Amino acid sequence: MITAEDLSKTYGAGTSRPRTAVDGISFTAAPGKVTGFLGPNGAGKSTTMRLAMGLDRPTSGTITVNGLPFSQHDAPLRQAGAVLDAGATHPGRTGRQHLRLLASTHGIGRQRVDEVIEMTGLGSVDGRRVKSYSLGMNQRLGIAAALLGDPATLILDEPVNGLDPEGVRWVRQLTRQLAAEGRTVLLSSHLMSEMAQTADHLIVLGRGRILADMPLQDFIDAAGESRVLVRTEDAADLMNSLSAAEVTVTGHDAETFEVTGLDARSIGRRARDIGAVLHELTPLRSSLEDSYLRLTHDAVEHRSGGLESSGTVSLAPDEAPNGPDHEEGR
Ligand SMILES: Nc1ncnc2c1ncn2[C@@H]1O[C@H](COP(=O)(O)OP(=O)(O)OP(=O)(O)O)[C@@H](O)[C@H]1O
């Protein structure tokens, strides 16, 4: 379990150019779930993860892992493992040497090193020097290191970065399995399709603040708009009869159009009323990407407001992640 309470981090505090990376956030990443951490570049995801792993100190507030600040645990590696910087290894060591060294400094036996090498598919390259590793091999080595202590909590910052499709699928299955075993998994990724298949819960950050904290499906339902695909012999008549202030009708071809703002049931009834012959009436589900982009787009367009659901979604104008003054990276 990871718990942040009113957590803030300002870099360069006291200098002429302070930079608040994390701005008073509170959230819980619960056991047994994959919690997806989303947000544009510079939103504060990596900083929050580093704070959780005790690699940086909060300016104010707290973040705990399994009830205690990470560094206060007697055997921290057994509490939480993290993939934060896949390149953070000594390039002259072999993968196996790197893992053995890490294991020995934490009282972890060689058998566990063999296990994590097996789990991460590094068996064929564990005797090679890390400097010869591809990005994908480095990611696997990072994940192997994170798993060494068999921790209850995993923090994975962009773990699929650089992996081929087989590797991406492997990370997805591994994270799902780790959560199914009752562990807490906090996962960041810019790959929306991957996040949609992996996460149970989402926390969306923008400019250091929480924009959304809710189950994945609720986020998609709350932020996405429902669309319905209609195919009919009487497209022109039905399109005319559906026109209303809150309804958008977009024609595709002579028989097909898409409706936003009315559900399939209402469209079916209207078709019956005017005697239109329907061939297809398909509700189209929003994707996570649609919802994410719509959430941020709306905030910029309307300069206020947000979305209500079973959790929190709010966007103030100056928090809009793709607003005009948004910093694209560091
Ligand atoms: N060590 C540092 N010193 C100064 N500023 C920093 C430092 N680390 C991060 N920042 C700043 O804090 C903000 C948040 O950065 P962070 O890396 O946490 O964002 P992120 O959401 O992980 O972004 P990305 O998706 O690009 O990885 C950025 O403006 C960044 O420039």
Q: How confident is the model at residue 49 (pLDDT cuts 50, 70, 90)?
A: very high
Q: How confident is the model at residue 297 (pLDDT cuts 50, 70, 90)?
A: low
CA 279, CA 233: separation in Å to the nearest integer? 8
Q: How confident is the model at residue 64 (pLDDT cuts 50, 70, 90)?
A: very high
User: What distances in angstroms separate CA 203 from CA 1, 186, 309, one per listed residue?
Assistant: 14, 10, 13
Percent of the chain past pLDDT 90, that is, above it, reads 62
Give 53-63 pLDDT, tens digit per residue: 999 999 999 99
Q: How confident is the model at residue 94 (pLDDT cuts 50, 70, 90)?
A: very high
Comparing CA positions, the residue from 295, 121, 137 lying closest to residue 225 is 295
What is the Å distance from ligand 1's center to 311 Cα? 26
Q: What is the mean pLDDT of residues 85-110?
A: 85
- The better pLDDT of the pair 163, 232 is held by 232
Indicate whether residue 329 lines ligand 1 (CB < 6 A).
yes
Is beta strand 312-313 parallel, antiparallel or unpaired with respect to 209-215?
antiparallel
Residue 289 confidence (pLDDT):
86
Q: How confident is the model at residue 109 (pLDDT cuts 50, 70, 90)?
A: very high
Indicate whether residue 42 lines ligand 1 (CB < 6 A).
yes
Q: The pTM is what?
A: 0.81
Percent of the chain past pLDDT 70, that is, above it, reads 88
Q: What domains does the chain contain, in order, with CATH numbers? A: 2-216 (3.40.50.300), 226-284 (3.30.70.1560)
With a CB cutoff of 8 Å and minimum separation 6, the contacts of 165 are none
- The better pLDDT of the pair 255, 136 is held by 255
Residue 87 confidence (pLDDT):
55
Q: In this predicted complex, what is the ipTM?
A: 0.97
Q: What is the mean pLDDT of residues 71-93?
A: 84
For residues 61 and 6, the answer to whether their CB atoms sit within 8 Å is yes
Indicate whether residue 39 lines ligand 1 (CB < 6 A).
yes
Give 298-307 pLDDT, tens digit per residue: 433 333 344 4
**Structure tokens belonging to residue 51:** 């704070």
What is the Å distance from ligand 1's center to 219 Cα? 25
What is the Å distance from ligand 1's center to 162 Cα? 20
Indicate whether residue 159 lines ligand 1 (CB < 6 A).
no
Q: How confident is the model at residue 116 (pLDDT cuts 50, 70, 90)?
A: very high
Indicate whether residue 129 lines ligand 1 (CB < 6 A).
no
What is the Å distance from ligand 1's center to 221 Cα? 30
Residue 261 confidence (pLDDT):
87
Please identify which residue in the block is written with the tokens 């970065």: 161
For atom 11 of ligand 1, the residue with the nearest CA is 21
Best-predicted range by mean pLDDT among 2-6, 261-265, 293-297? 2-6
What is the Å distance from ligand 1's center to 78 Cα? 27
CA 44, CA 40: separation in Å to the nearest integer? 9
Indicate whether residue 17 lines ligand 1 (CB < 6 A).
no
